[in-house]
């Protein structure tokens, strides 16, 4: 009977353990049978025209409203939930970026560059659900918390001179929004490791296993982004639901494996690659805590059109090899793995050019058969990525350390005519452009000097600028903010905005250690509200379970960032204080050293030292002979006598030194006073 009880108890413990593991892996279930917490991991691979590869990691964690007050979660990171509750954050985005997105070569109209291409350094913006008078205090506390959480200098944004409050030009703009950037912040592994700790499996399992540090940081561009949205709670006394998106966008250069082939000298031949050759690792299964784990391979519209053109020239067949059953062995390229599903962009119903998306499910692979997707090109391919309506650049004008000007240049892209539609030649057709720019307080901008040039012709500001909001800077208090809404004709080829400024002076304590390098002006944001970066695929049940594809279907305005400007300011000669301190310390050292040496010297000890020194100079043999002769004569041996005037000479020499040094000190004090 006792053995039976022990067996039943053991079985009960095993069942309880398995049930707890099931709840942890798939989220706890509430009374209504709905999952409370979910986690998704996805990876998007996309070849770029300039022989590079875009890798976009997308992780999403969600926690619905609960009564735990942020004290316990199964999958969702506890630090993020406590941050949302403590600082009443409604929406927030934090990005760490190294490098600059190349809009001309990598495109600017797709959802990835519009949402994930960020300015160099650190960018942080947050919308608070709190009274207006508490927002600044919550922002300062939030910056300190994020600084400690991600091992960065985000706490420098606490100062009112480092952040601004956009009114309407920034996409999530509202009266409770705060925005700040640190263009010179260096991004390294210390920022990536805390970011990975927010994932349930970290980088130990699933798609995150590919995040090899050397492979990521040797890329041309990488940006890690964290975006959270707080959803309203159903009733009072419950914590709000939170959706956390973690994305990592990296542009890498695959190593070409065709050096020995005939096409290796071809400039337009795309390099072949695989996951193991790029990251040095393979995916050995999915994260057990993830609802879905998928890898996508995307061919954009320009590449699909070029591949179809090559296929027609070869005249192999009339069927579309990109979506056929034997697509992995077509005349253009070859994939090393067979995809589970193929998605075609919805625009293909109206036009022949449409993006093609291949889906690979990681749950079918494991340690015995790891997933290692590879792409092998067979023919050279040349194409262009889809561009934004206007390409934005920003540069400085003027010379010297007193005055200057900022210019924003907007140039039409070749693909803008297709965006404008058939009414591009209509005089009533207008293109709306929003410009948001923040200028530090030491760059004193004269907003009345704003000038507009359209197609190299000066235009009245009132004819082009539909709406403007200006917040002048205050010395050592707040930066200057300029928000513009431009209405340009659809047939515009170029437009330039110029505004003049004066360079201010800083206190010596306000200069950074590398002041001679210059001071940064953050990137300006240029957005096109009438154009939306969106990719809609044919309806499928799997689309609802993919946060990445659902994000592509959302309407987000096309947005681009300009360059960071480096402004040289008048800097003092930092070596002059060093020289003054050095010579002053030298004089004081000589004065006090000689004075103390003269005061602490003793005459009797010096005479004894001279006697000992003279005795040591005598040879031993003469000394022994003198001692022997003295004993024979019955006399005592006397040591060498010092000159009688030595004591008085030493005393007078010391007094002269003291008098001379005291005179020099009095003259020095009188001269500098």
DSSP three-state, residue 382: coil
Whether the pLDDT of residue 261 is over 50: the answer is no
Task: List b or e across 607-645, with b for residues whose CB sees 16 or more CB atoms inside 10 angstroms.
Answer: eeeeeeeeeeeeeeeeeeeeeeeeeeeeeeeeeeeeeee
Q: Is residue 635 part of a domain?
A: no
User: Is 82 in the same domain as 202?
Assistant: yes
Whether the pLDDT of residue 424 is over 80: the answer is no
User: Is 87 in the same domain as 176?
Assistant: yes
- Exposed, middle or buried, 265 (CB in 10 Å: 0-12/13-18/19+)? exposed
Q: Is residue 574 part of a domain?
A: no
Tens-place pLDDT, residues 506-548 = 888 888 888 888 999 999 999 999 898 888 887 666 556 789 9
Residue 99 tokens, joined: 């490098």
User: Is 236 in the same domain as 352?
Assistant: yes
Q: Is residue 30 part of a domain?
A: no
Taking residues 115-138, what's their average pLDDT?
94
The terminus-to-terminus CA distance of the chain in angstroms comes to: 105
User: Is 351 in the same domain as 406?
Assistant: no
Residues of the domain holding 326: 38-259+267-377
User: Is 214 in the same domain as 322?
Assistant: yes
**Within 10 A of 465 (CB to CB), how many other CB atoms are there?**
17
- pLDDT band of residue 617 (cuts 50, 70, 90) is low
User: Is 344 in the same domain as 394?
Assistant: no
| pLDDT for 512 | 84
Report the sign of the C-alpha dihedral through residues 134, 136, 137, 140, in that order: positive
Tens-place pLDDT, residues 570-597 = 888 887 778 888 899 999 999 888 888 8
Q: Is residue 202 part of a domain?
A: yes
- Exposed, middle or buried, 596 (CB in 10 Å: 0-12/13-18/19+)? exposed
| Residue 569 DSSP code | -
User: Is 274 in the same domain as 395?
Assistant: no
Q: Is residue 362 part of a domain?
A: yes
User: Is 459 in the same domain as 337?
Assistant: no
DSSP three-state, residue 409: strand
Q: Is residue 231 part of a domain?
A: yes
| pLDDT for 473 | 93
Provide the CA 229 distance to its chain's centre, in angstroms: 21
| pLDDT for 148 | 94
d(CA 183, CA 161): 14
- pLDDT band of residue 24 (cuts 50, 70, 90) is very low
| pLDDT for 8 | 61
User: Is 99 in the same domain as 48?
Assistant: yes
**Which residue reads 């889809």 in tokens?**
386
| pLDDT for 256 | 59
User: Is 401 in the same domain as 329?
Assistant: no
Q: Is residue 230 part of a domain?
A: yes
Global pTM reads 0.81
Q: Virtual CA dihedral for 483, 159, 123, 550, nearest 10 degrees? A: -80
User: Is 352 in the same domain as 434?
Assistant: no
Instruction: Determine which of 405-419, 452-466, 549-563, 624-638 has the lowest per-residue pLDDT on average.
Output: 624-638
Mean pLDDT, the chain, whole residue set: 83
| Residue 239 DSSP code | B
Q: DSSP secondary structure string, 410-462?
A: EEE-TTHHHHH-GGGG-TT-EEEEEEEEEE-TTEEEEEEEEEEEETTEEE-HH
| pLDDT for 149 | 95
d(CA 394, CA 407): 6
Count of domains for the chain: 2
Tens-place pLDDT, residues 143-187 = 999 999 999 999 999 999 999 999 888 877 677 899 999 999 999
Whether the pLDDT of residue 605 is over 80: the answer is no
d(CA 610, CA 631): 26
Decide: 400 and 501 in contact? Cβ < 8 Å. Answer: no
Identify the CATH number of the domain in which residue 484 sits.
Answer: 2.60.40.740
Q: Is residue 626 part of a domain?
A: no
**Within 10 A of 540 (CB to CB), how many other CB atoms are there?**
13
- Exposed, middle or buried, 443 (CB in 10 Å: 0-12/13-18/19+)? buried
Decide: 63 and 89 in contact? Cβ < 8 Å. Answer: no
Taking residues 76-99, what's their average pLDDT?
93
- Taken as a whole, the chain contains a residue count of 673
User: Is 321 in the same domain as 403?
Assistant: no
């Amino acid at each position: 009977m006792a053995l039976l009880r022990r067996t039943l108890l053991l079985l009960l413990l095993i069942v309880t353990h398995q049930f707890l593991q099931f709840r942890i892996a798939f989220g706890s279930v509430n009374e209504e049978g709905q999952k409370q917490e979910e986690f998704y991991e996805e990876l998007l691979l996309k070849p770029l025209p300039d022989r590079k590869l875009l890798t976009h990691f997308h992780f999403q964690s969600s926690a619905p409203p609960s009564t735990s007050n942020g004290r316990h979660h199964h999958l969702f990171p506890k630090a993020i939930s406590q941050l949302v509750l403590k600082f009443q954050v409604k929406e927030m985005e934090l990005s760490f970026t190294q490098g600059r997105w190349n809009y001309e070569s990598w495109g600017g109209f797709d959802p990835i560059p519009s949402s994930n291409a960020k300015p160099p350094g650190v960018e942080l913006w947050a919308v608070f659900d709190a009274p207006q008078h508490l927002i600044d205090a919550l922002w300062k506390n939030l910056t300190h918390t994020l600084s400690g959480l991600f091992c960065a200098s985000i706490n420098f944004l606490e100062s009112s001179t480092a952040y601004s409050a956009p009114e309407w030009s920034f996409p999530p703009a509202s009266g409770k929004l705060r925005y700040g950037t640190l263009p010179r912040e260096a991004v390294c592994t210390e920022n990536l490791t805390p970011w990975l700790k927010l994932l349930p499996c970290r980088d130990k399992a699933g798609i995150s296993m590919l995040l090899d540090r050397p492979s990521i940081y040797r890329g041309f561009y990488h940006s890690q982004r964290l975006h959270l949205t707080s959803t309203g709670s159903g009733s009072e006394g419950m914590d709000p639901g939170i959706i956390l998106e973690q994305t990592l966008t990296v542009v890498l250069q695959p190593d070409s494996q065709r050096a020995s082939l005939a096409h290796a000298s071809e400039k337009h031949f795309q390099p072949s690659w695989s996951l193991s050759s790029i990251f040095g690792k393979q995916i050995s299964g999915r994260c057990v805590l993830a609802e879905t784990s998928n890898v996508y391979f995307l061919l954009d519209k320009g590449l699909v059109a070029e591949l179809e053109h090559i296929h027609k020239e070869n005249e192999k067949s009339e069927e579309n090899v990109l979506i056929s059953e034997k697509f992995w062995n077509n005349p253009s390229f070859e994939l090393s793995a067979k995809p589970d599903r193929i998605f075609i962009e919805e625009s293909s119903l109206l036009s022949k050019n449409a993006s093609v998306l291949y889906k690979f499910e990681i749950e079918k692979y494991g340690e015995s058969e790891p997933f290692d997707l590879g792409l092998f090109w067979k023919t050279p391919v040349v194409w262009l990525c889809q561009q934004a309506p206007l390409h934005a650049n920003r540069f400085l004008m003027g010379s010297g350390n007193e005055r200057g000007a900022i210019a924003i240049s907007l140039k039409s892209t070749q693909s803008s005519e297709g965006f404008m539609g058939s009414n591009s030649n209509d005089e009533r057709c207008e293109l709306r452009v929003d410009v948001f720019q923040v200028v530090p307080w030491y760059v004193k901008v004269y907003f009345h000097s704003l000038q507009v040039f359209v197609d190299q012709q000066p235009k009245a500001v009132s004819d082009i600028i539909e709406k403007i909001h200006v917040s002048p800077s205050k010395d050592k208090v707040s930066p200057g903010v300029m928000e513009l809404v431009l209405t340009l004709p659809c047939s515009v080829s170029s437009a330039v905005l110029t505004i003049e400024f004066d360079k201010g002076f800083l206190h010596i304590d306000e200069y950074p250690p590398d002041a001679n390098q210059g001071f940064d002006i953050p990137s300006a944001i240029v957005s096109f509200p009438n154009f939306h970066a969106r990719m809609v695929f044919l309806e499928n049940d799997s689309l609802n379970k993919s946060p990445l594809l659902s994000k592509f279907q959302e309407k987000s305005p096309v947005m681009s960032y300009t360059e960071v400007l480096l402004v040289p300011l008048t800097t003092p000669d930092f070596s002059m204080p060093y020289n003054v301190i050095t010579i002053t310390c030298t004089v004081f050292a000589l004065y006090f050293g000689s004075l103390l040496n003269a005061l602490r010297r003793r005459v009797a000890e010096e005479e004894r030292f001279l006697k000992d020194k003279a005795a040591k100079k005598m040879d031993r043999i003469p000394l022994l002979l003198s001692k022997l002769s003295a004993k024979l004569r019955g006399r005592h041996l006397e040591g060498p006598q010092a000159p009688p005037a030595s004591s008085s000479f030493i005393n007078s020499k010391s007094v002269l030194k003291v008098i001379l040094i005291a005179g020099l000190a009095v003259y020095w004090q009188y001269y500098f006073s």
